[in-house]
Amino acid sequence: MLTTKTVILKMDCPDSDLLDRTVQTYTEGMNYVSAVVYNLGKPKGSTALQKIVYPALREEIGLKSQMSCNVVRQVAGTYRTLQEQVRTKKTEWQQVTYAPTSMTFSFGRDFSLDGDKIGLTTLEGRKKYRFFRYPHMIQYLDGTWKFGASKLVKHKDGTYYFHLCCERETESREVAESSTFMGVDVGQNFLAVASTTDKKCRFFCGGKAKDLRNIYSTMRKRLQSKGTRSAKRMLKHLSGRERRLMTDMNHRVSKEIVWFAVQNRVDVIGLEDLSGIRDRPDTPPKKRRYTHHSWAFFELQSFIEYKAREKGISTVYVDPAYTSQTCPRCNHISKDNRNGRSFVCECCRHSLHADLIGARNIESRARTYRYTLEVQGCSQPPGRELSTR
């Protein structure tokens, strides 16, 4: 199983003007290629696209050879994603524009690591910059990890950070050979509820995330009603702060969930496949609409998946239909089984916390999926593609 980790290195850049010019020129190259693809009316593969734009990137814009290749691959990937969104009618065909805030590097071609220094190809050739070494990052620089395509990112305060992509193979049991499963139900009353095959359970972050969102929702309404320039600036500031707080909370909760799985020797974690949840026709009431549509479901699941992979634990995604309305004892399905946080089966009178019912049903479906793979002669399900957001 391939484990991917992004390590953020804070850089010491005394000549940041050179990096500014390099990033600016790189961005000009991306916007040029973006305009070419947009005018073509459809995406092109990176090889075919490179034949069209490479001379202009090198001679007119002034990019180095590997920079030009990175620009083409990055823009081609963006437009492939856009085409998929157009196909599913989530957006329209449009020209993508890039801001001069980051650029991509390829290990061994235009960036290298040497002790506490990182070598980067700039417009004036290869330059070395020192980065700050922190205790938590030393494990990724011990030679057991391979480095992939990474990014140089400029923050709003002008500080440069290098997002180093690290990869290595980790051992894990195949899903079809696994015996201990854990279901994780994500929600709003509790950010997550976990239940294992042997019925061990744990509730994570009860009410804190929901309270946080309610506080920011109230502040946002008050500022929106004012409509002044200063209120709009504050709204932008609040949006970023809320997002960072939720991401931090998701990181901490996902770490606790995976540690709970490790303690109980779990082989596979089952998660609900919530793709398209915001497009469902059953729109929630107006009072709950903001909380429903802004919830970071995918982010939390992504964090669980990559942290589990580091520990050699597989993840599978199961159909979420009726997980909170199905009795795990007699399999009776009814909307009336659940009343708020309480679950009482109409048929067998089995009662439990509603979110725990969801987690147990997810665990059961993950276990059933294991038997399906075994019957079909497969060992591992196809993984969901992750963005290490």
Mean pLDDT of the chain: 86
Would you place residue 382 in the very low, low, confident or very high pLDDT band (cuts 50, 70, 90)? low
Instruction: Please indicate, yes or no, whether the overall pTM of this predicted structure exceeds 0.85.
Output: no
pLDDT at 359: 94
pLDDT, residue 370, reads 75
Mean pLDDT of 133-159: 88
Cα distance between residue 138 and residue 120, in whole Å = 20
- Predicted confidence band of residue 178 (pLDDT cuts 50, 70, 90): confident
- Residue 382: CA count within 13 A, CB half-sphere: 2
At 165, the pLDDT band (50, 70, 90 cuts) reads: very high
- Provide the pLDDT for residue 185: 93
pLDDT of residue 197: 92
- Please identify, in words, the CATH class of the domain defined by 175-376: alpha beta
The Cα–Cα gap between 118 and 26 comes to: 19
Q: Is the pLDDT of residue 215 over 90?
A: no
pLDDT band of 279, cuts 50, 70, 90: low
Domain boundaries, the chain: 2-169, 175-376
> DSSP labels for 295-345?
--HHHHHHHHHHHHHHTT-EEEEE--TTTTTB-TTT--B-GGGEETTEEE-
**Please, which residues have CB within 8 angstroms of residue 368's CB and are 6 or more apart in sequence?**
none
What gap in Å lies between CA 192 and CA 203, rounded to an integer? 6
pLDDT given for residue 332 in this prediction: 92
How high is the pLDDT of residue 280?
56
Q: Residue with structure tokens 């591992």?
A: 380
Region 110-130: mean pLDDT is 92
pLDDT at 263: 95
Task: Report whether pLDDT(287) > 60.
Answer: no
What are the structure tokens assigned to 90, written together?
Answer: 């989530």
The per-residue pLDDT for 388 is: 34
How far from chain centre, in Å, is Cα 90? 19
